[in-house]
Structure 1
Amino acid sequence: MCPLSRRRALAAVGSAAAFGTAGCLGLRDRYVPRTHERDADLSGDDGPWPTLGHDARRTASVAGTGPDANARVTRLTEANRFPDRQVVVGSDVLLFVVRRWRENDRDDELFSGVVAVDREGSERWRLRTEPDVGVPTAVGNTVFVEESNLTRAVDAETGVVNWRYRRGYGFPHVSPAVRDGRVYVGGRRFLALDAATGERLWRTDEEMPAVQTCSATAGRVVASNGYAENGGGLFCLDAADGSVRWEADVAPTHDPAAVGERRCFSVDDEGALSAVSTADGSVQWTRARAADGDRSRYEQPVLADGVVLVGGANAPLRAFDRETGETAWTAGPADERHYAPVVAADGVYGVTREGTVYEVGVEGTERWRRSLDRTVTSAPSLAEGALYFGSRTGERVERWQGGFDRFGP
């Protein structure tokens, strides 16, 4: 591996016609990494929760409203392997990831991949992948799926693959970031692909094998870096050509940053929350995990009006002032594991691993709390007035029954 040099600009090179040199692949994948069957259809509505964190900035904030305390809990799909990643709600399908899923006791074949179902839970299609696969991203009539070395554009209605790009060895990314007709992905080098055709638009000249995942705005891509030897924990690329704008001196980071107008917020692998200037990458403030317990790290950050929200284990949900980093308020159970919440027009909705669902006003006043008879296994998504999340029941591993649920109308 070639480590990323600190403060060294990475020139973007070539067009899609340039030959790639990504890892120990076959000759065809090495020199002709793209397979194109047809252009992906990007037209149409993306859906109410189309990607991890709702949008390419990973803000987890929506304009809609959420459920009330008396909402129904509906199991949409049963599986003996529960979803442990956020559910995507497209315009016509729900998308969830399963790993090593055995559908019944007589089935010897394990399935890992993306499953698409309708609003009632009936399966539309499934796409087999490696066991480690990121949360899909829906754009119009296309679903983008990212594995450790492969990106695919899939028809949202049929599951047919429109194009694939084998970019070389990388890490299983959390979710592909798609913005303004471009798909941003990492591998041996960080790439921008044309979302319709899969053609490579640019790639960084130097290898960056520690890139984990990213967030995107109209002009910038903020990528998370997983190894201290490869530079700062965050770095910012120019969306137009891939050149580096800045590196941020924070610890290695695997989760994507939540990007605001003047600051982006990230949780590093040491569990600390940092505010980083989007202009130059300077660290504005850092807050260490303020709780006891074995898992002493915050969850992925979420943006609300004037504050940044983080959950964690054995501590309540916390809101920090975006400007100063001072604690604005805390809410929710103090001794449970809080997943990253969602922010709606009428309040903040959170869930815990222990099955507590709650609503908090944007000023920090808890409005209601309800306990469900299940273990929640993923951060929630919010769409059409309902929360969607993975869950399981059963105390012993051999008796676990999983699936994903809707909490709402």
Structure 2
Amino acid sequence: MIGWSTRRVIRKTRWERALHQRGSVSAFLATEDHVVVHERHTRVVCLDREDGSVRWDVPVGTWPRDLVVADDRCLVLPQTPDQLVCLDLRTGTVLWHVDLPRFSGHVVVAEGIVLVGGWRGYTPLAAFDLRDGRSLWQTSAPVRTALPLTWGGGVLLGDGSDVWLMDPRDGGEMARWELPEPLIDDELRPVFTPISPDRCLARCGPRSLMALDLSSGTVDELVRHDVDLVGQAAEFVGGSVWLRELRAGYSAVDPDAGSALWRVDVGQPLVRGVVRADGGFIVASEGALFRLRPDGQVVERTPHSQRISALRDLGTGEAIVTTRGTLKALALDSHRPR
């Protein structure tokens, strides 16, 4: 018998925004003061994080392959037109834009440099100055990579069993690892999880998690799970590594030893996102939010009237959920279950 109570995980809804399209965790991002979201199929909107009021609303083309905030800039890579657009995060003013080859994908910023390309191996990698969009360099041939990650003083890229760290200033290789099992094949979602300046995790195959060590140049298998995992990066929350299982639940493991800490099973699949709250955690299914104790035990459940697609931590006891058609900021209840 499931032994949790139905109580208030949510204290109140801070604000709610209709998107007029299906919400996606990859089509919004949050900073200390802003929430930037793609909505109405062709708009990017900046909201005040506190009350959800609109700061700016600009057209940027159709559904973005990438939405990135760096410094005081917002970078948008729409599917059409084939351009990279840089907006002022404070005002929404277009600061610069550059034309790109068709099917360009992936955007990452490191050391004031914007790296674009590598999606499905359609295009070369190209680097632009974040300040003014000036072209800096481009690879001589198309490159295929999973979604890149800024880490270790460079940009981490990967394809199949090969992972390499690239210097964003000139495209030079800083480090390389050969994985014992290929990376998961996902076009747009993360596959890498940084857990320290020298250590990063890579999701491989249906059940594996590899640890890359920058200082030693080694790669080790951290986890080989006993059931299939969702094809996306692990999450590092509250000092534990969280792996979302394909059929249902989350498993938490020790980031050093890879040993199992606990498993969260509510009898139904959980959406992506683990949030810290009151020393414990919050996770969500499509129809409810669940409070976990620090040891991962489920103690409270709050039904949610709209179907949840993702959960995102805002810090300070707040979270955002995306649903089939809304973005909703929640204040989490401060009750500490015993």
Same fold per TM (> 0.5)? Answer: yes
Q: Per-residue deviation at 1:384? A: 4.3
8 A Cα contact 1:337 1:354, kept in partner: no
Which of residues 296, 303, 309 in structure 1 aligns to 2:236?
Answer: 303
Which of residues 295, 310, 327 in structure 2 aligns to 1:404?
Answer: 327
- The alpha-carbon distance between structure 1 residues 407 and 280, as it changes in their structure 2 partners (threshold 3 A), is same
Which of residues 131, 142, 155 in structure 1 aligns to 2:88?
Answer: 155
C-alpha distance in structure 1 between counterparts of 2:281 and 2:135, whole Å: 39
1:195 matches 2:123: no
- What amino acid is the match of 2:170? D
Which residue of structure 1 lines up, in the alignment, with residue 318 of structure 2? 386
- What amino acid is the match of 1:128? V
Q: With CA pairs under 8 Å and 6+ residues apart, which has the higher RCO, 1 or 2?
A: 1
C-alpha distance in structure 2 between counterparts of 1:131 and 1:269, whole Å: 29
How many residues align structurally? 309
8 A Cα contact 1:85 1:97, kept in partner: no
Which of residues 35, 47, 50 in structure 2 aligns to 1:94?
Answer: 35
Deviations 1:304-349 (A, max 9, x none): 4553212234332211222232212223524322313245784433
> Which runs of 5 or more residues in structure 1 are unaligned?
1-67, 102-110, 393-401
Cα RMSD of the aligned pairs, angstroms, is 3.0
Which residue of structure 2 lines up, in the alignment, with residue 273 of structure 1? 209
Q: Per-residue deviation at 1:154? A: 0.3
Q: Per-residue deviation at 1:301? A: 1.5
Helix, strand or coil: the match of 1:133?
strand
Helix, strand or coil: the match of 1:377?
strand
C-alpha distance in structure 2 between counterparts of 1:367 and 1:91, whole Å: 30
Helix, strand or coil: the match of 1:339?
coil
Which of residues 157, 162, 165 in structure 2 aligns to 1:223?
Answer: 157
8 A Cα contact 1:356 1:370, kept in partner: yes
- The alpha-carbon distance between structure 1 residues 347 and 79, as it changes in their structure 2 partners (threshold 3 A), is same
Helix, strand or coil: the match of 1:380?
strand
C-alpha distance in structure 2 between counterparts of 1:193 and 1:347, whole Å: 42
8 A Cα contact 1:89 1:383, kept in partner: no
Report sequence identity in percent. Answer: 18
Deviations 1:16-67 (A, max 9, x none): xxxxxxxxxxxxxxxxxxxxxxxxxxxxxxxxxxxxxxxxxxxxxxxxxxxx
8 A Cα contact 2:105 2:116, kept in partner: no
1:354 matches 2:296: no
C-alpha distance in structure 2 between counterparts of 1:378 and 1:184, whole Å: 27
Q: Per-residue deviation at 1:285? A: 0.6
- The alpha-carbon distance between structure 1 residues 359 and 285, as it changes in their structure 2 partners (threshold 3 A), is same
- What amino acid is the match of 2:108? A
Q: Per-residue deviation at 1:81? A: 1.3
Which residue of structure 2 lines up, in the alignment, with residue 264 of structure 1? 200
Q: Per-residue deviation at 1:214? A: 1.2
TM-score between the two structures when normalised by the length of structure 2 = 0.78
More strand, by proportion: 2
The aligned runs of 1:119-130 (5 Å cut-off) are 119=49, 120-123=51-54, 124-130=56-62
Q: Per-residue deviation at 1:242? A: 1.9
8 A Cα contact 2:165 2:176, kept in partner: yes
Helix, strand or coil: the match of 1:324?
coil
- The alpha-carbon distance between structure 1 residues 165 and 345, as it changes in their structure 2 partners (threshold 3 A), is farther
> Which runs of 5 or more residues in structure 2 are unaligned?
1-7, 333-338
Helix, strand or coil: the match of 2:24?
coil
Which residue of structure 2 lines up, in the alignment, with residue 180 of structure 1? 111
C-alpha distance in structure 2 between counterparts of 1:360 and 1:179, whole Å: 37
1:324 matches 2:265: no
8 A Cα contact 2:200 2:211, kept in partner: yes
- What amino acid is the match of 1:150? Q
The aligned runs of 1:5-404 (5 Å cut-off) are 69-74=9-14, 76-86=16-26, 87-98=28-39, 101=40, 111-119=41-49, 120-123=51-54, 124-134=56-66, 136-147=67-78, 150-170=83-103, 172-173=105-106, 176-187=107-118, 188-208=123-143, 210-217=144-151, 219-225=153-159, 228=160, 232=161, 234-244=163-173, 245-249=175-179, 250-253=181-184, 254=186, 255-256=189-190, 257-259=192-194, 260-268=196-204, 270=206, 272-279=208-215, 282-285=218-221, 287-288=223-224, 290-291=226-227, 296-304=229-237, 306-331=239-264, 333-343=266-276, 346-361=279-294, 363-366=295-298, 368-392=300-324, 402-404=325-327
Q: Per-residue deviation at 1:282? A: 4.0
- The alpha-carbon distance between structure 1 residues 336 and 344, as it changes in their structure 2 partners (threshold 3 A), is same
8 A Cα contact 1:391 1:404, kept in partner: yes
